[in-house]
Amino acid sequence: MRPTTLSVKQSRELDRRAYSDYGIPTLLLMENAARTLAECIQKAIIQPILRCQIVFICGAGNNGGDGFAAARHLHQQATRFTMFFLGAESNLTADAAVNFRIIKKLGIPIHPFSEFNAMKVAWDRNPVLLIDALLGTGFKMPLRASVTDAIRQINDFKKHHTSTVKVLAVDLPSGLNGDTGPMGRDTVNADYTVTLACNKPGLLKPESRAFAGRVEVIDIGVPAELVQDVAGLV
């Protein structure tokens, strides 16, 4: 069965009604997403597996929260990774903050993104799987200068690294609008996009293929009846 496609507005309504109609907390949806996302990351790891560097770049919104939670599942499996955070802890959304605090209590280092350029030298000649968890459906234009700089650094790193770099985007490649598609050069060039609960119109645009790569829609536990109901809304 082909995944349902919902606009950004409908996707937000889906989250809202999952709680209001069924009592499903958004934190539980994030946890469900993270578990499957961690499985997708494991499948995408570049060979040789022992040399592949897994690198998370997380923002302060729920997209970053998905990244924090997925990283926690990888930690449970003894999978090594490096984590960068772009933003301020005080600006974390409620659900992202929960997973951020868990990561810290586990003793997993969370590096500010400002250290990315210095630390990437250590990955020289090693393949890298970079997890783009900066922006999801909730971003607004214009992007902050720090975000556009991060997107450009990701794309530059992918282009010029001394070994293979693959990018896996969480929900949407950062800078790609869920309704209208890529926003120009300030869009992450992903190889895979793991989008949550439903497809998004922006991912179906012909011009999005170069930015989204292979798109996989994953179930996060939203009732199928609710998805179809929200899809019928104008």
pLDDT at 12 over 90: yes
pLDDT at residue 219 tops 60: yes
Tokens of residue 98, six digits: 């929960």
> Tens digit of pLDDT for each residue in 120-137?
999 999 999 999 999 998
Tokens of 124: 């020289």
Give, in degrees to the nearest 5, the angle at Cα 47 between 167 and 74: 65
HEC states along 198-224?
CECHHHHCHHHHHHHCEEEEECCCCCH
Type of residue at 105: K
| Domain annotation for the chain: domains and CATH numbers | 8-231 (3.40.50.10260)
pLDDT band at 228 (very low <50, low <70, confident <90, very high): very high
Q: Quick check: helix, strand or coil at residue 128?
A: strand
Hey, is 122 helix, strand or coil? helix
What is the crossing angle of helices 94-105 and 62-76, to 10°?
A: 30
- 140 — pLDDT class (breaks 50, 70, 90): confident
Mean pLDDT of the chain: 95
> For 183-197, what is each residue's pLDDT tens digit?
888 999 999 999 999
pLDDT exceeds cutoff 70 at 1: no
**The pLDDT of residue 185:** 82
Residue for token digits 């997708």? Answer: 40
pLDDT digits (tens, 9 = 90+) for 153-173: 999 999 999 999 999 999 999
Residue 65 has pLDDT above 80, yes or no: yes
3-state secondary structure 19-69: HHHHCCCHHHHHHHHHHHHHHHHHHHCCCCCCCCEEEEEECCCHHHHHHHH
C-alpha–C-alpha distance, residues 5 and 233, integer Å = 12
30-47 pLDDT, tens digit each: 999 999 999 999 999 999
Q: How many whole angstroms separate alpha carbon 179 and alpha carbon 109?
A: 35
What is the pLDDT, as a whole number, of residue 234?
46
Instruction: Read off the pLDDT band of 233 (50, 70, 90).
Output: low
Mean pLDDT of 69-81: 97
